Amino acid sequence: MEKKSIQQASFLYVEDDASNRQVMQLLMQKVMRAQALIIFEDSVDFMTRVKALSPRPDVALLDIHVRPHNGFEMLDMLRADPQFHHITVIALTASVTNEEVEQLRSSGFDGAIGKPLRASIFPGLLERILKGESVWYVS
C-alpha cells in the first residue's frame, strides 16, 4: 500500500452504535480533516456494499459487535476476496481483555484500537496505521 496521509486516504467504518458513529464522524472531519469516510450501520450484504465503494477503502475500521456479521466474519470476507486482500483492517473494540486481544491478533486483524476513541490519541494512531505500523492500542 502506497503511503497516504489521513486527508488522502479513504476509510470504511462499520459501527452499529449511533453515538460511536457520530464521534468517529466528528473526529475524522473536525479533528483530522479526513476527506473520505464511509460508514456502514450494519453488515448486511457486507461484501456487495464494500465492492460498490469508490474509491476502494485503504483502511477498514470494524466494530466487533455488529450484526448480522460480526467483526471477525467481516474480516474473513475481506481477506477471502483478492481485491481487498491487502487493505488494512483494524478492530475497534470496547473489550480489552487479553483473551479478546489475542483472539483479534490470531484472527488476522492488522491492529486494534480500544474504545473510547480519544481525540488526543486517535489521530496519532491513525497516522501510524497509514505509515504501515502495527498498532495495538488497547489499554
| Residues found near other proteins in the complex (CB under 8 A) | 17, 19-20, 22-23, 26-27, 30-31, 65, 94-99, 101-102, 115-120, 138-139
In the complex with other proteins, the residue whose CB is nearer, 47 or 94, is 94
- Provide, rounded to whole angstroms, the least separation between the CB of residue 63 and other proteins: 10
In the complex with other proteins, the residue whose CB is nearer, 4 or 65, is 65
In the complex with other proteins, the residue whose CB is nearer, 7 or 22, is 22
Report the alpha-carbon distance of residue 57 to residue 128 in Å, rounded: 17
Report the alpha-carbon distance of residue 42 to residue 65 in Å, rounded: 10
* Sheet strand arrangement including 10-14: 36-40, 10-14, 59-63, 88-93, 111-114, 136-137
Which of these, 19, 14, 67, lies nearest to 38 by C-alpha position?
14
**Residue 82 amino acid letter:** P
In the complex with other proteins, the residue whose CB is nearer, 54 or 98, is 98
Radius of gyration of the CA atoms of the chain, in A: 14
- Provide, rounded to whole angstroms, the least separation between the CB of residue 22 and other proteins: 8
- Provide, rounded to whole angstroms, the least separation between the CB of residue 65 and other proteins: 7
